[in-house]
Chains A and B, each alone.
Chain A
Amino acid sequence: MAASCVRTVGSLLGKCGNCSSNINTVTSQLSRRQICVSTALLKKNLAAAGPEKFTVEFIQKQVEEFDIGKRHLANMMGEDPENFTQEDIDRSIAYLFPSGLFEKKARPLMKLIFFPLHEAVQWGADGRPFHFLFYTGKQSYYSLMHELYGKILNIEKHQDRLRAKGLFSQDAKAIALDTSRWFTKEELEVLLVETISSHNYDRFIQLIERLLSMPYGNMEEEFVLQYRRPLEAQSKKQSVPVPERDDKGVAFSTSDGRRKTSNSSVVLRDGGSGRITVNGQEYLQYFPVLQDREQLMFPLQFVDLLGRFDLECTVSGGGRSSQAGALRLAISRALLSFLSEGEQETMRQAGLLTPDPRVRERKKPGQEGARRKFTWKKR
């Protein structure tokens, strides 16, 4: 800032060469004073201006600056500024500022983070609150209830008018409520930016249900739908791998499996003799321990299709037991496509299709292992 001031002063000096000497002296004094300004003054200047107001204009300005910065970054990396996504930004920043910090959140970040709404100041300069319900303590909640009741009264008036005209009909179309649910208490709190008690929440639900139960409730459809959340997709059914046919007409299916840190992929071919190849080796050689081979055998034995398939497996990572577990999961998944619905259900019941969530627990400081504490000494 000081530099720019000096520059501007200098230009002024240059332009107004004909100005009177006293102005010159003043400006020269000014310039001299500006030259010896220090950063401490600057800091004081900022503090005096007051905290930064996070107004909408401020946010917009920040967004524009971010976009410009994004384009600069794309140019720097030699990529197309138009199609520069957030992932590309992350990659470029990680490249330009390589950080060895373990905590991912502490590394350099270039991202627009929109913090959730928080309460703006509720009263003006004279101390008078803006909202008429401020002194209830939960102004947004009560204003919402007030609004709802107003709508109910409106609908009743409308109904009365229609009845008076004789055009009242019971068969108004109902709003589709199957695919959505009401907001939960927490979601409502987030929307209203203030805490509400469970009693308040029940009252709110009662009122809005009453609105909907009225014959002409569908007039306020969009308003009501604001407070409903669409239900997520029904139970995530495991996509059963479709058995394809390869060039010899043999039906085969592929699937993956994971356990601890092992990843495996299995190609299950029909019409085979029960030969199994793991990573190019015979499974007898790859899994010399009986337990691992039993794990491989379990899905096939469970559905009594031991000698029918040929398996071609690849597995990597982890140890011997986790590789066997990963393969078992992959085999079960691949088998699904060759089984009927009932058999699939029995497999699910048997736990063959559930990926094992157990992972190695982290060692904590102050303890010897994940759970084991150091030997306790009395003194």
Chain B
Amino acid sequence: TSGCGQQQEAVAVESELEPFSVFRTQESDPACQSEKHLGQFYTLPPAHFRPLFPHGLPYRYQQQVKTFNEACFMVRSPALEVISYLKKADYSKPALRYLFYGLKGSGKTMSLCHAVHFCYTQGWLVLHIPDAHLWVKNCKELLPSSFNSARLDQPLQATTWLRNFRTTNERFLSQIKTTHRYAWTKREFTDEGRPLGELVNQGISRVKSSSDVVGALMKELRLQSGQPGAGFRLAVAVDGVNALWGRSTIKKENKSAVDLEELTLIHNLRKLVKNDWVRRTLVLTTVTAWSPTQLTGFDSMDPFIPVSVPNYSEKEFESVYLYYLDRKWLQHPQSRTEDGKKELVFLSNRNPSMLDRICGFL
């Protein structure tokens, strides 16, 4: 009770000091956030923002960041729950997997990014795949793989991803060394013991072999982080993981649909997501708009811990509303009244993305 009392005092002090930002909190380290920060916004330090999220955030949110000149995340219970699991998890056991699921636009990707931020602040290596759907749809270029002739490559997506990976994990690139020798073509190869940075640069500069580089990278990281002597922990975050087992809209030149197994990137991703590792690495994923039991590929994801991401609760809705008011995003005079707030509640049904869209033209 004394702890609670102290907490309450702290909250009271906080609210006295900043009466105008009851929806904000100063605690910008996800590790230190707790239930009392639920529903409040914390600002991402700009130093973290650029390297962490070159990709991975929803498009509308990126625009919002540019408009408001700050990146604010809301502390919500699903993300907080996963972060608490991450803190307490036992890493000598096989890899743990968490799945964010929920309705469309309820905040799954944002929760994922929140958790990724936590991993980053803890100093882990983050393997963040922004949207697996992007790899499965609308692919302009397909090359037959150099490594395995039955498979197909996607050079463009692989190179963009490698570039972003490099931005995120700069400091690890020089630390980790390769354990195998990779031969890309007859003349190019990467020796054993070279830093990972070289591997990544190889992939970026040689577009043709970039997908294979991605595969090699994943294999390396998997092997190395599995060993007890490794100096880092690996966190894998895949957004839209149901794309890995769904259908693809890519067609080959003879108009026949491409089977997902034939895509190198997907194949490697699936191996990554499988459960056969030991030690750390958590796989955080999001699913679009389904309940987890309906997920195809459920068996390969099994076992995992599903975390539901609901629409905003009343308190969270209040927070967002005050945030928008504070940022002067809601210009319409009626939006500041009680009735206006009720209208917003009704029209968006407290769905975060809907609310964002509606407030966009208010």
Contact = CB atoms under 8 A, between A and B. Distances in A.
A293 B347 contact: yes
B346 A300 contact: yes
Nearest to A293: B347
A144 interface: no
A282 B342 CA distance: 18
B343 interface: yes
Interface in B102-146: 103-104
B346 A293 contact: yes
Contacts of A306: 339, 342-343, 345-346
A290 B357 CA distance: 10
Interface in B319-361: 339, 342-343, 345-349, 351, 354, 357-358
Contacts of B347: 290, 293-294, 297
Interface string B67-89: 00000000000000000000000
A290 B358 contact: yes
A184 interface: no
A249 B348 CA distance: 30
B346 A284 contact: no
Q: How large is the interface on A (under 10, 10 to 19, 20 to 34, 35 or more residues)?
A: 10 to 19
Contacts of B346: 274, 293, 297, 300-301, 306-307
If over half of B's interface residues share one DSSP class (helix, strand or loop), that class is named, otherwise mixed; here it is helix
A283 interface: yes
Contacts of B345: 274, 306-307
Contacts, number: 35
A103 interface: no
A304 interface: yes
B291 to A, nearest CB: 14
Nearest to A304: B339
Q: Which of A284, A290, A304, A307 has the most CB of B within 10 A?
A: A284
Given A301-B343, A304-B339, A283 B349 contact: yes
B343 A297 contact: yes
A276 B358 CA distance: 19
Interface string A297-325: 10011001011000000000000000000
A300 B347 CA distance: 12
Interface in A246-303: 274, 276, 282-285, 290, 293-294, 297, 300-301
B172 to A, nearest CB: 42
A284 B351 contact: yes
B92 to A, nearest CB: 43
B342 A307 contact: yes
A274 B347 CA distance: 11
A91 B261 CA distance: 61
23 contacts: A274-B345, A276-B349, A282-B103, A282-B349, A283-B349, A284-B348, A284-B349, A284-B351, A285-B103, A290-B357, A290-B358, A293-B347, A297-B343, A297-B346, A300-B346, A301-B339, A301-B343, A301-B346, A306-B339, A306-B342, A307-B342, A307-B345, A307-B346
Given A282-B103, A297-B347, 8 more contacts: A282-B349, A284-B348, A284-B349, A285-B103, A290-B358, A294-B347, A297-B343, A306-B342
